[in-house]
A and B are shown apart, each in its own frame.
Chain A
Amino acid sequence: MRAWRSRLFALLIVVVAASLATWLEPWFQSWAGSRTASADLLSVALGDSRRLFAKHFYVKADAYFHSGYYPSIFDQRPEDTKLHVAANAGAGHEQHDDHALDGKPRDWIERFGRHFYPSVHNHLGESKCNDPHHLPGHVCGPDCKHEAEEHADHAKGEERELLPWLRLSATLDPERPETYVTAAFWLRSKLGKVAEAEQFLREGLQHIPGQPELLFELGRIYRENYKDNARARAVWEAALAQWRKTRSPDNDDDRFLCAQILVQLAALEEQEKNYPKSIEHLRTLLTVTPHKASVQNWIDQLPGGKPIPERRAPSTPKTLHQGRSPWSPNAMPEQRAPLSPKLPEGRAPSSPPPPL
């Protein structure tokens, strides 16, 4: 009798388990947190932690850009949007002091230890001089007595070393636009791999459609490398339209991006001798740039460009999206009020990103 009771109890448990499974399975399939829907092995294995690794590898690319000279978490580190590798690519703001290791060594161990790791600020592509009479980490500069060409040959194409980390970062987090922009910039500008740069940007656009940063960089490829002004214009105008839809002019990075797009569009129209359009872009640029004088000067030099008298804004809107958006194509000239934007110090939006 006791044996029968045990068997019945086991059967009951099996029935309850099967019932629970039939109830839980559909719920699990429709659950938003389920990773089974993803075909990507990395997503299944790592989940959202892959973004953390992606950021790590992106920072690793910046460390490679400095030839291993990089502050630890115990030193002052730059924000990831201000990494030099991105700043040089135009995907962030540059602030050159942020990578400085803390001044003088604090004790003899630290002084001695600095011989064993890169302790001189250096960028990939800048030549390091390894001659024995120099200390380790000596960077070839104006005082160096060696032939500059000899050093330049060594340093040529070193930027390729960034690529594996950027590729890995993009694989782990395909929705991070800086990775695509940075990789594309180095590919096309220093390594001459324009087709690869375009393909990588298109890959990025598949993951994050309409991203203004990617469209802007794609436009630069069309204009600067393929000399295809028509496609460049189309892509930049799409970038500007996307910017208006998705970005806020209150943000420094967003304003900087907008200024970059407008500068490129204005220059392109000027080259195409489409001066009214160029002036229109420059007048829009006036609303976001702190360097109004130089932009105004540019306008004045264009045929048909007349100095615009100072106009008092009826009221300065806090954002560009408060009804009277000057970004709206239908906005009246009176409504294009200066917005007192402020770009970071030392960054001239009218100039393209500085080459190394």
Chain B
Amino acid sequence: MNAIGPLKTIIDFRRDIAPIRYIGKSSAAARVLNNVSAIAGVVIKELYRRKDFYVLFVLTAVITLVMGSATFFNEAKIVRYVKELCLLLIWISSLVIAITTAARQIPFERENRTLFPLLAKPVTRGEVVLGKFWGCWLAIGLTLLVFYLFFVIVGATRDSEWSLGASFQALTLHWFMLGIVIALTVLGSLVFAAPSSNNTITFTVIVGILFLGRHLNKVALRLDEPLQTLLYSVYYLIPHVELYDVRDLVIHNWGTISWVVWLGALAYAAVYSALFLFAACQVFKRKAIN
């Protein structure tokens, strides 16, 4: 019984899903990985079949190029406003794609009734959550890669003082930040009734943290007790996604961040993503599917 032959199973109705292979009890981790990557594969395919990414990318490119073609006072070398605009559009587009993609995954499986046969296979609920997260995260990673490639090309053609290291750090930090966002959205998709409400609430929370997260401590210190402690606790509890917004450093050519700090930021994002995913798994385990 140690070596059970390869068991070919389909975890989705679509025929293009990779078969799940697992070999015995000793390779449970491999089985989980296979299941997760099979579910993730579907999510990635869904992203490139949908038009969201193409529309947002073309919009970003067109706006950036049109604004970049403008000249001010016959000065051809002005570049920072183009970089700022391009990065702003990339941030908006990536947030929209990440949240909308992650928010619809599990609710749509339920609506289409594909969740029942999926869970009837040797796939646990936790693996479904992880697979959905992993798929969304990889898909948004590919999206970011295309966006940042465009950004680097636009910047490099106009700016002589270009730092590839800073762009790489910006891309990776952005990607890990979206990991937190996706994990939070997946959790939201199990808590809120509809994807639309989940989209709105998650978007509001993330944008709120992006704008205010850095300053909550300053506001807290101006308040009286017990509001001060309460707000300071919120400040410590929330995921500080604003840390990953290094646009100003890239735009104004401040150079690279210390690589140790960069690694620390990635670890911080990984911890929060794991926390939200754990919560999502727990909620999904207790949730009645029908």
Q: Chain A: interface secondary structure?
A: loop
Q: Please state if B249 and A128 are interface contacts (CB–CB under 8 Å).
A: no
Q: Does B9 touch A at the CB level, under 8 Å?
A: no
Q: Please state if B215 and A118 are interface contacts (CB–CB under 8 Å).
A: no
Q: Please state if B249 and A193 are interface contacts (CB–CB under 8 Å).
A: no
Q: Please state if B215 and A161 are interface contacts (CB–CB under 8 Å).
A: no
Which chain A positions have C-beta within 8 A of B242? 113
Q: Please state if B219 and A74 are interface contacts (CB–CB under 8 Å).
A: yes
Known: A136-B254, A163-B75, A187-B73. A118 touches B236 (CB 8 A): no
Which chain A positions have C-beta within 8 A of B81? 161, 164-165
Q: Please state if A136 and B257 are interface contacts (CB–CB under 8 Å).
A: yes
Known: A109-B235, A118-B249, A161-B78. A193 touches B73 (CB 8 A): yes
Q: Please state if B73 and A109 are interface contacts (CB–CB under 8 Å).
A: no
Which chain A positions have C-beta within 8 A of B253? 67, 128, 130
Which chain A positions have C-beta within 8 A of B26? none
How far, in whole Å, are A164 and B75 apart by their CA atoms in the complex? 10
Q: Does A115 touch B at the CB level, under 8 Å?
A: yes
Query: Could you say which of B78, B236, B244 contacts A109, with CB atoms under 8 Å apart?
Result: B236
Q: Please state if A110 and B217 are interface contacts (CB–CB under 8 Å).
A: yes
Q: How many residues does chain B have at the interface if contact means C-beta atoms less than 8 Å apart?
A: 40
How far, in whole Å, are A109 and B240 apart by their CA atoms in the complex? 8
How far, in whole Å, are A64 and B243 apart by their CA atoms in the complex? 20
How far, in whole Å, are A73 and B244 apart by their CA atoms in the complex? 20
Bitwise, B249-290 to A at CB < 8 A (1) or not (0) is 101111111100100110000000000000000000000000
Query: Could you say which of B78, B163, B240, B255 contacts A163, with CB atoms under 8 Å apart?
Result: B78
Q: Which residue of B lies closest to A183 (CB)?
A: B73
Q: Which residue of A lies closest to B242 (CB)?
A: A113
- Counting from the closest, the 5 A-B pairs by CB-CB distance are A130-B255, A68-B248, A74-B215, A67-B252, A196-B73
Bitwise, A87-104 to B at CB < 8 A (1) or not (0) is 000000000000000100
Known: A117-B246, A160-B75. A135 touches B218 (CB 8 A): no
Q: Which residue of A lies closest to B220 (CB)?
A: A106
Q: Which residue of A lies closest to B211 (CB)?
A: A72
Q: Please state if A117 and B248 are interface contacts (CB–CB under 8 Å).
A: yes
Which chain B positions have C-beta within 8 A of A305? none
Q: Does A167 touch B at the CB level, under 8 Å?
A: yes
Starting from the known contacts A116-B265, A130-B255, A164-B81, 6 additional A-B residue pairs (CB-CB under 8 Å) come to A109-B217, A115-B261, A116-B245, A118-B249, A130-B163, A136-B255
Within 8 A of B (CB), among A106-136: 106-107, 109-110, 112-113, 115-118, 128, 130, 132, 135-136
Q: Please state if A68 and B249 are interface contacts (CB–CB under 8 Å).
A: yes
Which chain A positions have C-beta within 8 A of B77? 157, 160
Q: Please state if B254 and A128 are interface contacts (CB–CB under 8 Å).
A: yes
Q: Please state if A193 and B74 are interface contacts (CB–CB under 8 Å).
A: yes
